[in-house]
Chains A and B, each alone.
With several copies, the nearest count.
Chain A
């Protein structure tokens, strides 16, 4: 397949799904959206082309964070909220690893929020699979920072009174370079986004609208459900106009300072008026507006929304080290110990 990030060591042989299957019993609830995400990962990893020993999967705590046990890679099941910090250490220590992080909306946006915005700001080359089920699954059903306002959960018997984050907005507000949104019920969209994330040099956030069948069942159904999705999901592709609808006759246009839905063929709107998606645009302005769109007045946007080039933290670390090694007179610890003011007695 085409270009992937060249820092990571490549495999000489063609790998297959079996290379990444672990021998551990998968303990998610039957019907949980996480199963599909696992299937997507097992499908995409062999395609990426790296040596299988160079994959490293890191997670925090939560249902989603059990992920590393189910993939046969080097894996680290961390503590709650700290996956991004652990991943950062892994990647800096060895940039030749392909580091993947599995995390939840609680893990990364509640307790882990700080590490999340900082890994993004630094643009450490990590691929983050954010299982957004809008609930704390593992602790059995408390609201999370993405739970819609008003929702009744175990800790909000009168409905939550917290305005939720929109993951894409937060990512871009933190200077993110890659953001994709995918539903857990479309394995192709998932694998495509994962593949692009692997290619992207920098922090890649893939928000996966994942169903928690036990504590927030059908939370995404109004958007990703079979019956509605043609009208509620806009899947963007780079270079293509942003069209959706059962008859693919609706599109997104920019009017004055804001986005609007227009019907092609009505009010003089033609295909040429429809915005063409540019995921590589450095300026996140439009991408941010896209990430914010949501029903009832808009479809929600899926696919790779942003993928902008920017130096990565891990590359810059290596560059500074290389430069220092080339220029410094201190080449080993004996040099160091004897540097500066010393005298003989």
Chain B
């Protein structure tokens, strides 16, 4: 086949998904592909789609591993509903992902992987490359394994190693399709394989061969170009929500002058925060991998008593286990940041899938009257800022804060404009001063109702705290009825008062109208995109996305009152909407819920919104 110059098609945004067997290196391929997109200035969001098993049997549906990239020439809000380009390395991955491909999507397959056994294992009756299965798509069939091996023949590389680089061959084809420069990837190989120079050569050759091969493929009728996005000037990086969360905590520790302590127990999808923080002992972070979640939170409480910015990270089942201890932090009025990277429940549920079903637990899941601050991040990138905010509120208001993120945010990545620490807001914990003659453990700042933090080792402040009800001001144990009422009220008022220190709730769109769409947490991108689409169509629709959940921003009621209907969209059965119903007795709440371990699709949202806009 002859090489020919292809027409270049400009696209605003494109969704690409790499899928294959667990061992096929799809995560790496996807990451390299998105790094290059980022480098040329596209905005992007990515999401890995792990199998629930570590290595499920080869060529099975259960063993499919995927990586999705959404890139564009303007701000990217989601990882994309449907896929424009699907790279499917074997029949199982094709079968599991075809439903996500747009009509007419380009599908690149490794024909070598479509042998009888693999086709059968995937559950196909016959070879989908031969029958009508893919008739609606632009199919690129390439014998990728064979070609990879061939490209390395001269080097005398053994077949196994050659086979393992077939993902780079596929990546080369994609680079051709997207008109990408190969140099950044060459540079990457040089960095990564410093100690194994033979691998640098192998990967370079394979990548280049894929690229060259693509030039000869007729099915590739055009190449796609995506212009750089207009982004705020600055230094950028790609970041996942879990890493951003970890870094936000480190930033808050530095800013507040309080050493970071993390007490955690691994749990999907929160483990990466623990693993990330374990790397930064050079920043003084003390990271304690506890024997269980209870020890994780209790060690953090001990460290908080001792003056640290104390944190614990977990997911739903772990938050359940920590609930008793969080009550202890509430009554001892100590700072504590609890990060819950939500996953599918109940119980062990769907550990590798994402949902928003821990909100009830975060708000209400403790014995007694036990209020805490609850905030939620909404993008991978702003996990950094909300982790920072959670720490700031906790330290300054001397009370536990639960930060809700979720598996999508945690594993997904977006671009992150790197802030300067000097520009981050100050954090001023209310430390008691040595030998302060007026120090009383439960004396409160009248404005914030916050008590002072007297750190062990400080002269002249020896005192005792604990889980029994405290006597107002002096902090000794008290069984007095009116004192109990007072302390219960103080603890609630202290949290409510946080509303004086957080921003008002913004509205995206007009402050009054037919329909207000309400969302919170990790659904921001999809809901925003759906609302935008209808706003562009001139519909009377606005969007309020909540980051502060307990307390709610002060103007919340005003925001809600501006609309004839309010629809609250959540990836649960209606937890935030019920919470709003508690607070605001309004008859016009509607809800849109999905509990499938999947994010919202923009279309299902716009359908619902249109329906509400049309109904009386």
Interface of A toward B, CB cutoff 8 Å:
9, 22, 24-30, 51-54, 56-58, 61, 63, 68-69, 72-82, 84-94, 96-97, 110-111, 113-115, 118, 136-140, 142-143, 145, 154-158, 214, 317, 320-321, 323-325, 327-328, 330-334, 336-338, 340-345
Chain B residues closer than 8 Å to A76, beta-carbon distance: 302, 305, 332, 464-466
Contact of B234 among A58, A143, A331, A344 (CB under 8 A): A344
Query: A97 near B457 (CB under 8 angstroms)?
Result: yes
In the bound complex, what is the Cα–Cα distance between A63 and B465 (angstroms)? 16
Least CB separation from B275: chain A residue: A154
Least CB separation from B272: chain A residue: A154
In the bound complex, what is the Cα–Cα distance between A139 and B268 (angstroms)? 6
In the bound complex, what is the Cα–Cα distance between A142 and B264 (angstroms)? 12
Least CB separation from A68: chain B residue: B464
Query: A155 near B35 (CB under 8 angstroms)?
Result: no
- Interfacial residues of chain B within 458-478, with CB under 8 A of chain A in the complex: 458-468, 476-477
Chain B residues closer than 8 Å to A30, beta-carbon distance: 55, 57-58
Query: B53 near A93 (CB under 8 angstroms)?
Result: no
Query: B463 near A115 (CB under 8 angstroms)?
Result: no
Q: Which 6 A-B pairs have the closest CB atoms?
A: A77-B466, A89-B302, A328-B282, A89-B299, A75-B464, A85-B298
- Of B62, B234, B266, B468, chain A has the most CB atoms within 10 Å of the CB of B266
Least CB separation from B282: chain A residue: A328
Query: A142 near B235 (CB under 8 angstroms)?
Result: no
Query: B308 near A93 (CB under 8 angstroms)?
Result: yes
A92-B292 in contact given A79-B348, A155-B275 (Cβ < 8 Å): no
In the bound complex, what is the Cα–Cα distance between A136 and B460 (angstroms)? 36
In the bound complex, what is the Cα–Cα distance between A84 and B279 (angstroms)? 26
A114-B298 in contact given A94-B456, A330-B280 (Cβ < 8 Å): no
In the bound complex, what is the Cα–Cα distance between A155 and B272 (angstroms)? 9
In the bound complex, what is the Cα–Cα distance between A85 and B328 (angstroms)? 13
Query: A29 near B54 (CB under 8 angstroms)?
Result: yes
In the bound complex, what is the Cα–Cα distance between A294 and B466 (angstroms)? 38
Chain B residues closer than 8 Å to A328, beta-carbon distance: 281-282
Chain A residues closer than 8 Å to B288, beta-carbon distance: 88-89, 92
- Pairs A–B under 8 Å by Cβ, sample size 21: A30-B57, A58-B302, A61-B467, A69-B466, A72-B462, A76-B332, A76-B465, A77-B465, A89-B300, A90-B456, A93-B306, A94-B307, A138-B268, A142-B266, A143-B289, A324-B280, A325-B281, A332-B283, A334-B421, A341-B237, A343-B39
The 0/1 profile, CB within 8 Å of A marked 1, for residues 281-295 of chain B is 111101111111111
Chain B residues closer than 8 Å to A330, beta-carbon distance: 280, 282-283
In the bound complex, what is the Cα–Cα distance between A61 and B265 (angstroms)? 14
In the bound complex, what is the Cα–Cα distance between A93 and B302 (angstroms)? 8
Query: B302 near A87 (CB under 8 angstroms)?
Result: yes
In the bound complex, what is the Cα–Cα distance between A173 and B234 (angstroms)? 57
Given contacts A115-B298, A137-B54, 15 further A-B contacts (CB under 8 A): A24-B476, A53-B457, A53-B461, A58-B302, A79-B348, A80-B317, A88-B295, A90-B302, A93-B259, A93-B261, A115-B294, A118-B290, A320-B281, A342-B418, A343-B235
Least CB separation from B476: chain A residue: A24
Query: A85 near B294 (CB under 8 angstroms)?
Result: yes
Contact of A340 among B231, B237, B287, B328 (CB under 8 A): B237
Query: B467 near A321 (CB under 8 angstroms)?
Result: no
Query: A92 near B286 (CB under 8 angstroms)?
Result: yes
Cβ-based interface call for B120 (8 A): no
In the bound complex, what is the Cα–Cα distance between A331 and B421 (angstroms)? 13
In the bound complex, what is the Cα–Cα distance between A25 and B55 (angstroms)? 13
Query: B282 near A73 (CB under 8 angstroms)?
Result: no
Query: B457 near A54 (CB under 8 angstroms)?
Result: yes
Query: A93 near B307 (CB under 8 angstroms)?
Result: yes
Cβ-based interface call for B274 (8 A): yes
Least CB separation from B331: chain A residue: A79
A114-B263 in contact given A53-B456, A61-B467, A344-B236 (Cβ < 8 Å): no
